[in-house]
Structure 1
């Protein structure tokens, strides 16, 4: 338990005093009673050193603040025994799953969409409880659905939700959880015989590899997603996969492959209107989003053209994409550093840091800290 809490706090870049402050702020906003400042300081130290057990009420607060699950907070997993008859409980689960009709499915998918909207505006950390509960409900319904006609739509809904949960886990620095959720999403997509969600989950999973320092392997995984999906993929999804491949090649400093992938994405997208496919709501891609992606890739390669691309994208982008705006600010800071424009770089870095604090993104916090280190050292 001690190491898990400390690791989650450090990943967020928080001191123990900052964690105490966040607990107090949370309690004021939610009208929850917590201990005094001095007592909380003792609690945090005791929790991290294994001298005090984290109560369920404080665990709920920590999950929301740090974006962790109970399994990630605690070393020991409590198994709850049920003394009801096994068959009676099975029938209860079967009946509950059988009651899932089209209206219930639509409600479950609307819940996924609501969580997606909240995620891009508020960040993933605040949604860990809601997302986990949503996944558990979908998994339970799928586990006890009997016939393929009932299982396939539930599997499709689970694939969509699990991909979102995986991306949120990656955002809060929980790489292992992200990988497992992507595997869940891919398995569900295969059962649903849904090549779109399978390719999307596979493409996003490549970012776990990239964050682990294996971007070339990630690019190969995206290529495999494109190959396996073939002609069954929609043009917008194909464009999204090409853009993702471009970013991964840029991370690998392979500019020729990056440019070819960007050109392919642009060609596919030029024939489309709108920003989303009805069958794949997890993807947002139009010219503005592609421009953001292009600017990001060029910034990674040290190409000065990135500044114009990123500035245009930042102006045109929907204000609800708060985390994406943090990414653009990071890219602009990096691009200005390459040009030796430290004043502009530090401005965008401050803006990025403010947005990161708003969303609680560990992933972007690491980017901000890395670029800040380069800025302080006077390097690009």
Structure 2
């Protein structure tokens, strides 16, 4: 009864129910209530309040920035294991605190570390929004991440935000425009950046090329990614903590791209990735099983495809991933 009354504006959503619904649906309070996001109250006339906020921001120490980054890392870990829908309130509050600290930081020495922390948190929030199907929120978070990266004077974080933002364009049906954005990200990075980030950008380029129907460019980008990835099992870059990528992850990514091209090598590449997949990456493993199902479908191996789609659906449901469930549903319709 309440749902009908909410939908017909006969009853407003109480704060108690709003908190529950935000957790279930993975939306912000403004999105849930259909109203613009709340804004901070107007400042008092005069300068006392302004100076108070500036003084507060100037006191943000290295240990506080470290705490901000630790909170981002905790949210990232929770996201990959449990999904994004239950983290919406924590993520919104985290971004607000970082923005508040940056907005009133005056000198570059105070702004840069906070801006870098905000860039990393914003790209995480944006990817969570993509996963929840909230594409406009994702776009805005990527714009925030790019502004923060420029403020931090960090070409790496800027290139990463641009590369991930390209996926919003791709999923909106504009893969060619997304490909242009990825290539702009590569140009903005130039010869700088870590090898792991360059490999990530090449792999993203390959995936966008596959979506755009450019198989030759796709294979060239895959080869460049394989040539760039550092050897060994390590998947984190100390200068680019937003990226998880090693040879095993890249094998999975390569298999996904080859499956889109209908290449027979996709199956062996994906099964190799499955053998070494980290079980804590629950949503990523849902994607991996979906990729394997796609590869089997391309070979008309319907029983195998159905087996992996069932596993993908189970994992996607555990994390509440709208994006992965949509992929599973699209492939299931072909069985």
TM-score scaled by length of structure 2: 0.96
* Matching of residues 118-129 of structure 1 within 5 Å: 118-129=78-89
Large movers: runs of 4+ above 6 Å: none
**CA distance in structure 2 between the aligned counterparts of 1:309 and 1:194, rounded to whole angstroms:** 34
Distance 2:33 2:2 in 1: 16
SS across alignment from 1:282:
strand
1:267 CA displacement: 0.5
Change (3 A) 1:357 1:185: same
Cα gap change, 1:228 to 1:358, in 2 (>3 Å) = same
Residues 225-283 of structure 1 deviation map (CA, whole Å, 9 limit, x = unaligned): 11111012111110100001011111122211111000000001155762111011010
Please tell me whether the aligned partners of residues 236 and 272 of structure 1 are also in contact (alpha carbons under 8 angstroms): no
Give the structure 2 partner of residue 33 of structure 1.
none
Q: CA deviation at 1:338?
A: 1.6
Aligned pairs for 1:223-238 (under 5 A) are 223-238=183-198
For residues 277 and 191 of structure 1, what CA distance do their matches in structure 2 show? 21
Aligned mate of 1:242, from 164, 187, 202: 202
**Any idea what the Cα deviations from partners look like across 1:172-198, whole Å, max 9, x if unmatched?**
001111111101000110111101100
Q: Does 1:199 align with 2:159?
A: yes
Tell me the distance in 1 between the aligned counterparts of 2:318 and 2:271: 21
State the secondary structure of the residue aligned to 2:203. Answer: helix
| Alignment partner of 1:261 out of 221, 229, 233 | 221
Tell me whether 1:293 sits opposite 2:247 in the alignment.
Answer: no
Which residue of structure 1 lines up, in the alignment, with residue 4 of structure 2? Answer: 45
* Correspondence for 1:34: none
Deviation at 1:329, TM superposition (A): 0.8
CA contact (8 A) 1:333 1:344 kept: yes
Q: Are residues 1:141 and 2:120 paired?
A: no
SS of alignment partner, residue 190 of structure 2: helix
SS in 2 for 1:196: helix
Correspondences of 1:180-199 after superposition (within 5 Å): 180-199=140-159
* Distance apart, 1:328 and its partner CA: 0.8
CA contact (8 A) 2:43 2:49 kept: no
| Superposition CA RMSD, Å | 1.5
Structure 1 residue 57: Cα displacement? 0.8
Q: Which runs of 5+ in 1 are unaligned?
A: 1-41, 376-380
CA shift for structure 1 position 162: 0.5
Helix, strand or coil: the match of 1:231? coil
The residue correspondences of 1:76-225 to structure 2 (distance < 5 A) are 76-77=35-36, 81=41, 86-225=46-185
CA distance in 2, matches of 1:188, 1:340: 47
Equivalent residue runs for 1:9-20 within 5 Å: none
CA distance in 1, matches of 2:216, 2:96: 43
Instruction: Please give the alpha-carbon distance, in whole angstroms, between the structure 2 residues aligned to 1:182 and 1:86.
Output: 34
Q: Which residue of 1 aligns with 2:265?
A: 305
- Is the partner of 2:60 in helix, strand or coil? coil
Alignment TM-score, normalising by the size of structure 1:
0.85
Contact 2:23 2:87 in 1 (8 A): yes
The reply on whether 1:322 has 2:292 as its aligned counterpart is no
